[in-house]
Structure 1
Amino acid sequence: MNVLRVELRRSAALGAALITVVVGVGALYVAVDRWSSGWMALALTTREYLLLLWPLALAAGAWQGRREHRAKVGELFATTARPRVARMLPMLGAMALTLAIAYLLVTAAGIAWIITTTRYVPLLSFAVVTGVGALSLIGAAWLGLGIGRMLPALVTAPALGVAGVLLVFFSAIRPADWVAAAISPVHGTAMFHDYQTIDHRVSGALAIWMVALAVTGLLLSVAGGWRTRTAALVPVVLGFVAATAVVPRDRDLLTWPVDPVARELVCTEDTPTVCVSRIHANVLETLTPLAREGLTKLAKLPDAPTAVHEDTRTIGEIWPAAQSGVVTIDIRTGRRGQLAYPAAVVPGIVSALGVAYDGECRNGDAAVERAAAYWLLGREPQSDVGLVPGMISEDPELNAEAVTLWQGLRELPDDEALARVTAVRDALVACQDPAGLLSGSAR
């Protein structure tokens, strides 16, 4: 323990850990929106930033590995009776301990941000993904330390840092998915939906690969000749074979897999029913009055929907059959995990007049639909730009036409206006063009 304390004071371990914490926490807090939705999003984003942290650990290990060469004590230490393994273990332990703690501190900084706003905690998956991330830093540092001792040039550390960035990046995008999942610490970590996770077999394969790199680094660190250095390649080969044997081949498990528990609906106990995914349960209280206001507006129509559900489909999924009496909406969260864009909820519920899009049929007329929806809302139509998330432009004539149609509806008796709006809704249900139905000139 005394030797370990000396290593912690005099080696590059603490410096490497400090850089890891600064870079990791800085990267997290620059893009809070990417992971504020939950614990797994945080774990995946932190893992994604290994694109920066892994090369830093590799370079730090290489810098530490040339210490004896830099101090010109290699020959002196070679004459001592103490085995090289015994001399290297404190250095290896210091690097492993400090970098693992640094990675956990980065993760803890993220937890401090979301701990009061997220209710769903997939503890096992979170711990596995985070643990493999910490292990990957240890593997990088030990591998760098071995290479730095074998090639103790001043340029080795920065060269390895650059090579590490390229290696992590291209290993994540160039090989087949199952190979990339087995060898790249950032594969599958880019967030594409809030229910995303990493399969445990993928984590297991990557853990095997990182242990293999760490063992190779250990052998290079203690190697005394070319035979031992050549033998150090054996763990890499065996680790690659074992990792690729363990990793699954199913694309659904490799590309943005879904945590089914996170996607389960959590609903209000009273009616009208409002449901959100479990990962967004913290916004249910805020969403409920807005969703019910939207249902109240739709209730003017005959056979109107009586429930609002979050749309939990993910990228590439087949459109499910529309549920009778249910309106689906997208849920987005803000930097503090709160409901983002609350002003868009009521218009979003009413905008399609309660008609669910099934992915096959939508013979709509945007101006007609907008005019009908805003008649139900009781206010003048407005552009979706600035209201609908992600909408950055639209044809200005669209809203002008909607306003004209809306004004025409307001001049009619309420019964006649409601009948025309109902006709628009029925046309959408029947996959027919609603053009002209509000003006009485339907084609």
Structure 2
Amino acid sequence: MRVLGIELRRTSALVVGLITVVVMLGMLSWGPATKNSTAWTLQWSSMAEWTRFTLLFAWAPVVGAGALLGLRDRRSGVDELFGSTPRPRVQRVLRTLAAWGLALGAAYAVVLVVGAALVRSDHFHRGWLPVALVGVLALVAAAWLGMGLGRLVPSPLTPPVVAVAAFALVALSLRPEGEGIRWTLLAPGVPSPRSVYAHVAGAVSLGQAVWFTGLALTGFLLVALRRRWPAVLPALVAGAVAVPLLPATPAGALSPDPVAAELVCADGLCLTRAHEGERAALAGPVREALRALAKLPSPPVEVREVAAAVRVEARGPDPTDAVWVHLDELVYFRSPGVVAPEDLTDWLIAGAGTRTCYGEYVPEEVAREVAFRSVAAAWLTGELKPLPVYRVWVGKEADALSAAAWETLRALPEAERAARVQEAREVQAACSGDALSVLTGTPR
């Protein structure tokens, strides 16, 4: 232990570990990892997966730092001296390798502990643990492999060259997922989370564990052996074993989490178990929304969460007996605790309690749908006002359409207004036509 402590102090292991922690936490605290329901502080799976995702940027510098350490004997002029001693080389380098493994393993553990302290989900499961453990293995393999390459090619150019090469190889895994996903999964990260209702499949963690174990052994043997050629065997064997284990399709890389998607209903609000912690914040707006929607001839009786990933394409029809809501579509998780309850109510009653029909890509004709949703909400509340979530996407066109439709609707008898809103609501729920034309009684 004393020698291990000396190695920790005399090498840059602690400094590299500290820099790794700063880089990973910095990336997790800024950018995509803080957005939507898959934010790294909202779910255990998301925390582990986003932490692994940051390795795509932290892995290559660790390889370069390891290569720099691998030059130590040559730079100190003691390589030939140590090579002439009868003492096995492995005994001398083992503590150095252990020190770096300990420092980087501890760095990754610090990031995980910070994430675990911030996660505010009641849905705990053990599926995130393999993802996290493989991350530790990947980071240790980076340092050991770098040290081995530094000893194999003892040139001052080796550390920057291997770091840049590692960046280039890792960058290939950022390309769109397709048939080559097996090769992208050999990278130290995992795909960024797309849904809280699925997590990284066990086959991915198993294949990556085999692969990074092989890389770590190759780095170890390059440092420890006098003869270098046997060192490549672990990496070759690990690659031959890992690639068939990894899934061949993007869908196979994910494992559904039916428990997270299970709905729990109480007081007119049905939330998935993954989002049960949001019930207290949503209960008030839901009560107000259902109270307002009771004005409809056939009002919905509850608010139900949609247990699915964010829509990329247009959705299918929704049943009209409930208000179907996707919290990401409400931009609910963008500013947790900041969204005003009245804004939540406005979003729930928009379109008389219906969702948008388009997906992630907003169409050009969205202004007509926005106008219907605004006017339907105005009929329920008696006040026409812009829906805040749309102000960035639409401009004067939606406001003009809303004003004209509101005047047309107000000119009708109350019974006919209710019938028009109900009919338009059904059209919008089914995504089967132009709800604004139904509302105003005029063709598009």
TM-score range, shorter chain: 0.7 to 0.9
Cα deviation, residue 281, structure 1: 1.4
Q: Does the 8 Å contact 2:293/2:380 carry over to 1?
A: yes
1:9-32: CA deviation from partner (whole Å, max 9, x where unpaired): 112211211111121222222343
For residues 286-325 of structure 1, what are the structure 2 equivalents within 5 Å? 286-314=281-309, 315=311, 322-325=318-321
Per-residue CA deviation, residues 151-192 of structure 1 (Å, 9 max, x unaligned), is 12122112222111111111453884442354112232x132
Task: Give the residue type in structure 2 aligned to 1:72.
Answer: G
Question: d(CA) in 2 for partners of 1:346 and 1:103?
Answer: 41
What is aligned with 2:327?
Answer: 331
Q: CA deviation at 1:341?
A: 6.3
**AA in 2 matched with 1:180:** W
- Partner Cα separation in structure 1 for residue 30 and residue 396 of structure 2: 35
1:186 aligned residue:
189
Q: Structure 1 residue 19 and structure 2 residue 19: aligned?
A: yes
CA distance, structure 1, for counterparts of residue 353 and residue 382 of structure 2: 16
CA shift in 2, pair 1:337/1:110, >3 Å: farther
Taking structure 1 as reference, are residues 392 and 363 closer, same or farther at Cα in structure 2, changes over 3 Å only? Answer: closer
Name 1:266's counterpart in structure 2: 264
Residues 405-437 of structure 1, C-alpha deviations (whole Å, 9 max, x = no match): 324544555444324433433555684555565
**Do the aligned partners of 1:327 and 1:355 also contact (CA within 8 Å) in 2?**
yes
**Distance across 1 between alignment mates of 2:341 and 2:47:** 24
Unaligned runs of 5+ in 1: none
Find the counterpart in structure 1 of residue 362 from structure 2: none
**Matched residue of 1:266: which SS?**
strand
| 2:66 partner letter | G
Q: 2:224 aligns with which of 208, 216, 222?
A: 222
1:240 Cα deviation from its structure 2 partner: 0.6
Cα distance, 1:374 vs. partner?
Answer: 1.2
1:225-267: per-residue Cα shift (whole Å, max 9, x none)?
A: xxx322211111110111012223343122x554332222232
- How many angstroms apart in 1 are the aligned matches of 2:347 and 2:10? 60
In 2, Cα distance between equivalents of 1:305 and 1:380: 22
Aligned residues: 427
Matching of residue 64 in structure 1 with residue 65 in structure 2: no
SS at match of 1:309: strand
- Asked whether 1:247 is paired with 2:246, we answer yes
Pair 437,231 (structure 1): closer, same or farther in 2 beyond 3 Å = closer
The answer to whether the 8 A contact 2:201-2:252 is kept is yes
User: What's the RMSD between the two structures over aligned residues?
Assistant: 3.0
Deviations 1:288-334 (A, max 9, x none): 22122112211111221111111222256995663351111121454
Range with greater deviation from structure 2 (207-216 or 3-12) = 3-12
The equivalences for 1:37-52 within 5 A come to 37-52=42-57
- Structure 2 CA distance, aligned partners of 1:318 and 1:427? 15
Decide whether aligned partners of structure 1 residues 182 and 437 sit closer, same or farther in structure 2, where only a CA change above 3 A counts: closer
Matched residue of 2:117: which SS?
Answer: helix
The answer to whether the 8 A contact 1:182-1:209 is kept is no
Of the structure 1 ranges 325-334 and 50-59, higher mean CA displacement relative to structure 2 is found in 325-334
Q: 1:324 to 1:426 in 2, by over 3 A?
A: closer
2: CA distance between counterparts of 1:426 and 1:19? 56
Q: Does 1:210 align with 2:212?
A: yes
Q: Is the 8 A contact 1:36 1:336 kept in 2?
A: no
CA offsets, 1:200-228, max 9 Å, x none? 1100100100000011111111221xxx3
SS of corresponding position for 2:100: helix
Q: Is it true that 1:379 corresponds to 2:378 in the alignment?
A: no
Letter in 2 for 1:83: P
Match of 2:398 in 1: 398
For the 8 Å contact 2:198–2:256, the answer to whether it is kept is yes
Sequence identity, in percent? 33
Does the 8 Å contact 1:435/1:442 carry over to 2? Answer: no
* Contact 1:286 1:339 (C-alpha < 8 Å) held by counterparts: no
In structure 1, C-alpha distance between the alignment counterparts of 2:291 and 2:356, rounded to whole Å: 21
Measure, in 2, the Cα distance between the counterparts of 1:426 and 1:53. 51
1:2 paired residue number: 2
Report SS of the residue matched to 2:29.
Answer: helix
Name the CA distance, whole Å, in 2 between partners of 1:130 and 1:317. 32
Alignment check: 8 A CA contact 1:7 1:91 kept = yes
Provide TM-score, normalisation by structure 2.
0.86
Residue pairs, 1:119-198, within 5 angstroms: 119-122=122-125, 124-173=126-175, 176-188=179-191, 190-198=192-200
Q: Does the 8 Å contact 1:262/1:279 carry over to 2?
A: yes
CA contact (8 A) 2:24 2:54 kept: yes
With over 3 angstroms needed to count, the CA separation of the structure-2 counterparts of 1:214 and 1:291, relative to structure 1, is same
Q: Which amino acid in structure 1 is aligned with residue 200 of structure 2?
A: I
Give the letter aligned to residue 112 of structure 1: A
Using the TM superposition, name which of 4-13 and 328-337 deviates more: 328-337
Q: Which runs of 5+ in 2 are unaligned?
A: 360-364
- Is the contact between residue 50 and residue 193 of structure 2 (CA under 8 Å) also seen in structure 1? yes
TM-score relative to the length of structure 1: 0.87
1:424 is aligned to 2:424:
yes
Match of 2:28 in 1: 28
Matched, 1:350 2:349: yes
* Partners of 1:322 and 1:357 within 8 A in 2: no
The question of whether the paired residues in 2 share the 8 Å contact of 1:331 and 1:339 is answered with: no
